[in-house]
Structures are given as structure tokens and as C-alpha cells.
Amino acid sequence: NFISLTLFKDVLSVYSVREPKALENLMYLIAEKQTLPLNNYTLSKILHIKKETVDNYLQYLKSAHLIFSANYYSKNATKRITKESKYYIVDTGLRNALLVESMLGDDTLGKDIEGAVAAHLMRHQLGNDAKLFYWKDKYEVDFVFNDIPIEIKFKNDVRLGELKGIIKFMEQFESKYGIVVTKDMFKMQDNIFFIPAWLFLTL
């Protein structure tokens, strides 16, 4: 199948993988849980392998450019290191193939848009000091990039009441502006830019 061919070609032939089925299942889990922070210890329990093995397998998948991560945003280094990361499949086609093979139900479009935005931001971070983060307190922001909060709302009627996370982030970290990625909505309000996804992905 597609995932087996990809994994065996790009990972299993390069790294010492003792549990190839666990590695494959890890990819399925990342595809299903994309956009959610994942705890490596919890993953180890689900996959019946050691946490250290999960850590290694995630690094293998990153090195093979099959996944990438967004870490927790904080000015406190300890929080950045200890909080869970979000993981994204680097290619939307690969993610959808994983979901089909595993027969998992999913809010595919919303997560695909968030994944596409994440991949776009990752490409922008190459060659500069910017890093991809997410932020979560009482409220949440999908991404933080260059200290700019970015929220995905793939629809055309987005109200400020739905943006408590981005507003809170701007207040707490004194961000000059924020970005909301929408379906077709294009405007600026209260220092928040509403930008259609098709346009944002060309920037």
C-alpha cells in the first residue's frame, strides 16, 4: 500500500526500526489527530512501545520530511520544551491516503486547510530564524509565526467573538496585528487581517 511503500523507502531503509508496524500506526495517528497537541507518553501507551521509541520514530519521520511539528509558544523556555507539540503530515495527499487506508472518519477539509497553512509557514521558516508555534491558554491560537498569531477560520462569516484566542494573545504579548485565514473573507478590523486561504497561500 501507499504508506508502506513510502515508509519503507524513506525511513525503514535508513533507520534501525524494530517495530515497523508501530511506526506505520504512528503515521495513522498523526493523520487522524492533525491539529491537536499530542503527548508522546500517551502515544507510547496506544502503540505499546516505549516513550523513547516514540521520540525516535517522530524524529525519523521529521528527518524523512514526512511530518513536521509546531511547538508551544511561550517566553518561558521550560514551557516551550515540556508542553506537547502538534504534528502535521507534510503533504495533504499523503494524509488523505493515510485516512483512506485506515478508514478513519475525519473533518478532512478543515484539517487539510490548517495543514496547508502550516506547511506554507514551514517553507517560509527555511533560511531564517522564524519558528512555527501554537499557543493555548484558556483560549487557543492555531499558529504563531514571527510572534504573529494566525487563526484558521475557513468560512465567510467570522465574528470577533470567535477570535478570543487571537485577541487575548495580541493583548498578552503586545502583538501589533493578527491574521485570520478565511474562505473568501478579505478585510481588516481591529488590527486583525482577514485573508482568504487561496491568497494567503500565495504570499
Please report, in tens digits, the pLDDT of each residue of the chain (203 residues total).
666 666 767 788 888 888 988 998 999 899 989 899 999 999 999 999 999 999 999 999 999 889 999 999 999 989 888 999 999 999 888 888 888 765 555 467 888 899 999 999 998 876 666 789 999 999 999 999 999 999 999 999 999 999 999 999 999 999 999 999 999 999 999 999 999 999 999 99
CA distances to 30, 54, 84, 120, 139 from 24, rounded to whole Å, are: 10, 12, 21, 25, 33
Helix-strand-coil percent breakdown of the chain, rounded to 5? 50, 20, 30
Query: Which top CATH class is 2-106?
Result: mainly alpha
Under 8 Å between Cβ of 42 and 30: no
Model's pTM, two decimal places? 0.89
- What single letter denotes the amino acid at residue 108? T
Q: How long is the chain?
A: 203
The CA distance from 33 to 88, in Å, is: 9
Question: Looking at residue 107, what is its pLDDT?
Answer: 63
Q: Are 173 and 147 in contact (CB under 8 A)?
A: yes
pLDDT of residue 172: 96
Q: Where in the chain is the domain with CATH 1.10.10.10?
A: 2-106
Task: Measure the CA–CA gap between 117 and 64, rounded to whole angstroms.
Answer: 20
